[in-house]
Amino acid sequence: MSFDFGPIIDSRISPYTIGFVLIDGGNPAPLGSGTLVRCRSTQGILTCGHVLAELPQAGEFGAALFGLPQTRDQRMRIAGEATVAHAVNFYTAPGGKDGPDLAFIPIPPAQFSDLSASGSVLDLDIGKDKASSERPEGAEVLEAVAGVVGQLTAPASSDGRKSTLAVEGLVCPGSVIAAPKVGQWDQLQFKPQPQSEAVLPTNFRGTSGGGIWRVYLKKDAEGRYSPLESRLTGVAYWQDEIAGSLGIIGHGPISIYGHLLTEIYRRWPPQ
């Protein structure tokens, strides 16, 4: 008998995930993905550099939380002047498969409290400790990537007064099949492996900036699984053929918990 891991994946990953929405001009469109994070007195959104480059420094952009019901009307707007303009950015256009392509967007406390009231926030300091720890004894591993999928998101609709965009996201199981080093940066090569007859998109555009996660599971005597813990191990930023099919390349834990976290603390010293 097969076990449906979907509810476990969704509950352990979706609440941390957001989608960026371009709202300029009254025609909203999905722009990329991110993860809600904090590190001591600093809070914000972990994403990739080329998504950051598309966000407006002047004006506003939207943020759609994944962990809310599909029928929930979300209107979160974030000012670029106080966020994008002060971001940590490891990216130089036009970028490429080798990176680096990683970023952190600081969010002022008042706005971040609105995000954290409806979503979950990953503590990067705890994540750093977990990243270097051993697998829990007897645990099985499930890996997945989370983010917006532009191909599955229909164009915005309008009733003449407002425009509405139903952002479609995907938490896709799979496996990291390789983790090479490229200079001082580490990569994760993630191969999507959907359960049952699920159909994958032919383009993962929009997933960039989303998290690559590892969920540890415990199996009971009846063959049922329950989650033990979740770890953010990567940030997606590129799509390419991996082992014969379309896959995702992301930065790994050395990039996140080493280079990026070090720069965050340099900019905003822990208090």
Strand extents, DSSP E, 73-197: 77-79, 88-90, 102-106, 122-123, 140-148, 157-158, 163-164, 169-178, 181-182, 185-192
**Per-residue model confidence (pLDDT) at position 124:** 97
Question: Which single residue is written with the structure tokens 């974030």?
Answer: 78
Residue 1 lies in a domain: no
Residue 109 lies in a domain: yes
pLDDT along the chain (271 residues), means of 10: 70 92 78 95 96 92 78 78 95 94 96 91 96 89 91 71 73 93 96 75 92 93 88 97 93 97 94 72
Residue 75 lies in a domain: yes
Enclosing domain of residue 99: 6-267
Cα radius of gyration (the chain): 18
**Per-residue model confidence (pLDDT) at position 1:** 40
Separation CA 116–CA 201 (nearest Å): 30
The answer to whether the pTM exceeds 0.85 is yes
Q: How many domains does the chain have?
A: 1
Residue 87 lies in a domain: yes
